[in-house]
Amino acid sequence: MAEQNQNKLIHVACIQEESKNKKTYLFLFLVNTQKYIWFKEDSTGNKIETTLSGMTFDDAMNEAVKFWKKENFRTINCGFRYSLPERDEHGVNALFHQMAASYSSMTGIYFDDTVGYNCIVYHASIEARDILKRNN
């Protein structure tokens, strides 16, 4: 099993399991900078590795959507990422790790390696902020 504490948490999703009749969180980790693996949170809060993975973020997301389609798979709202200094007019959906970087910064501004410039995230849901607090 991969050790998720040493890997980067990329995004968070949830499903509604019929058998438990409650929301279950799913965590997408980047493992060893080469593979994305989904982990499922159990009732005690531990993250259990699943068989779903992908070599790219998009592959991992597509696998999850297909696999958990009947359980109403959805990603949580992590807000909108705006680029700086000239902010985008509307922003783009932020991933969990982008929201975490912005919300843990004193000013909210962080350097995003994927786009190559400073960014800021606004309007993350309370659910996403609660998960951020819980995982820090």
| CA distance linking residue 97 with residue 46, whole number of Å | 19
| CA distance linking residue 45 with residue 103, whole number of Å | 23
Tokens of 14: 């949830």
| CA distance linking residue 120 with residue 91, whole number of Å | 10
Task: Give the pLDDT band (50/70/90) at residue 33.
Answer: confident
Using DSSP's 3-state secondary structure scheme, residue 126 falls into helix
pLDDT digits (tens, 9 = 90+) for 66-76: 999 999 999 99
pLDDT digits (tens, 9 = 90+) for 10-19: 999 999 987 7
Q: Which residues, at least 6 apart from 95, have a Cβ–Cβ distance to it below 8 Å?
A: 10, 11, 78
Q: 98: how many CB neighbours lie within 10 A of its CB?
A: 25
* pTM for this predicted structure: 0.89
